[in-house]
């Protein structure tokens, strides 16, 4: 079903049965001849609308700039540190310690300019929902020869996930996810989980690539992105966030 049709008959959370009735009447489709048509069409319409809704929600987060005067923003940033470095208290709000978790300077707010609050929300979700995996990746990022800037790479992966959604490349994953989990449509949490999958898998890809140094980042990042785009060309692809680690 074309997404243009879905937009016309399902611009908001209109009931899927109603949308199906409209199409069946317009196309003179008989229920007794095609008994599953209404259900299947309703599922397709809901999934398409849900994907458009997800795109809008993710864009809203990306467009929201980090504001150091916003208490909620500041609390989330400090929570990120506490989750990743629970045994090391910050000596101040602006400190070189932020570089220990991969920010570029003394104040992380400058690093969120490209992806806005979406970048912070992704990092925080990874550290909250998959804390052992996040610490495992952070530990790899501190490797003396294979290390990389954890937070900056994480924000780059936010950009990758955002672009996969924006271009429609991620439809395969999200449509299959809805079917597998019997959801009505994808949510922002599903986007966060996609991000976690990408971060965990990129870390594995990076370590296996055995880079000479951080200067190899762009080449390895692009190669990793290509592998995910190729996977999404398979209609059955779904990225599973099974991020178990043996030890931190």
Measuring CA to CA, which residue among 110, 98, 150, 144 is closest to residue 127?
150
User: Any idea what DSSP says for residue 133?
Assistant: H
The answer, yes or no, to whether residue 70 has pLDDT greater than 60, is yes
pLDDT of residue 144: 92
The pair of structure tokens assigned to 48 is: 């398409």
Question: Count of alpha carbons within 13 Å of 94, Cβ hemisphere only?
Answer: 4
DSSP 40: H
Q: What are phi and psi of 100, to 5 degrees?
A: -65, -25
pLDDT (tens digit, 9 = 90+) per residue, 193-207?
999 999 999 999 999
Cα–Cα distance list, 42 to 50, 171, 221 (Å): 12, 17, 38
pLDDT bucket at 8, cuts 50 / 70 / 90: very low
pLDDT digits (tens, 9 = 90+) for 109-150: 999 999 999 999 999 999 999 999 999 999 999 999 999 999
> Cα 223 from chain centroid?
19
Sign of the Cα torsion 205, 209, 214, 217 reads negative
**Residue-averaged pLDDT of the chain:** 88
């Amino acid at each position: 079903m074309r997404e243009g049709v879905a937009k016309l008959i399902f611009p908001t959370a209109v009931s899927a049965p109603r949308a199906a009735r409209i199409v069946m009447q317009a196309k003179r489709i008989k229920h007794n001849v095609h008994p599953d048509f209404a259900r299947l069409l309703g599922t397709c319409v809901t999934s398409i609308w849900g994907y458009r809704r997800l795109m809008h929600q993710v864009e809203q987060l990306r467009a929201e700039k980090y504001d150091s005067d916003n208490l909620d923003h500041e609390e989330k940033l400090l929570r990120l540190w506490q989750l990743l470095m629970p045994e090391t208290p910050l000596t101040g709000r602006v400190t070189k310690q932020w570089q220990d978790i991969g920010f570029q300077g003394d104040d992380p707010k400058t690093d969120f300019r490209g992806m806005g609050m979406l970048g912070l929300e992704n990092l925080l979700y990874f550290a909250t929902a998959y804390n052992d995996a996040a610490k495992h990746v952070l530990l790899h990022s501190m490797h003396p020869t294979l290390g990389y800037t954890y937070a900056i790479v994480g924000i780059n992966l936010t950009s990758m996930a955002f672009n996969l959604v924006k271009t429609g490349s991620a439809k395969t994953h999200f449509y299959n996810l809805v079917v597998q989990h019997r959801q009505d449509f994808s949510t922002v949490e599903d986007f966060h989980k996609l991000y976690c999958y990408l971060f965990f898998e990129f870390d594995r890809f990076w370590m296996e690539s055995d880079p000479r140094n951080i200067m190899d980042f762009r080449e390895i990042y692009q190669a990793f992105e290509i592998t995910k785009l190729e996977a999404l060309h398979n209609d059955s692809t779904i990225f599973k966030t099974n991020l178990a680690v043996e030890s931190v």
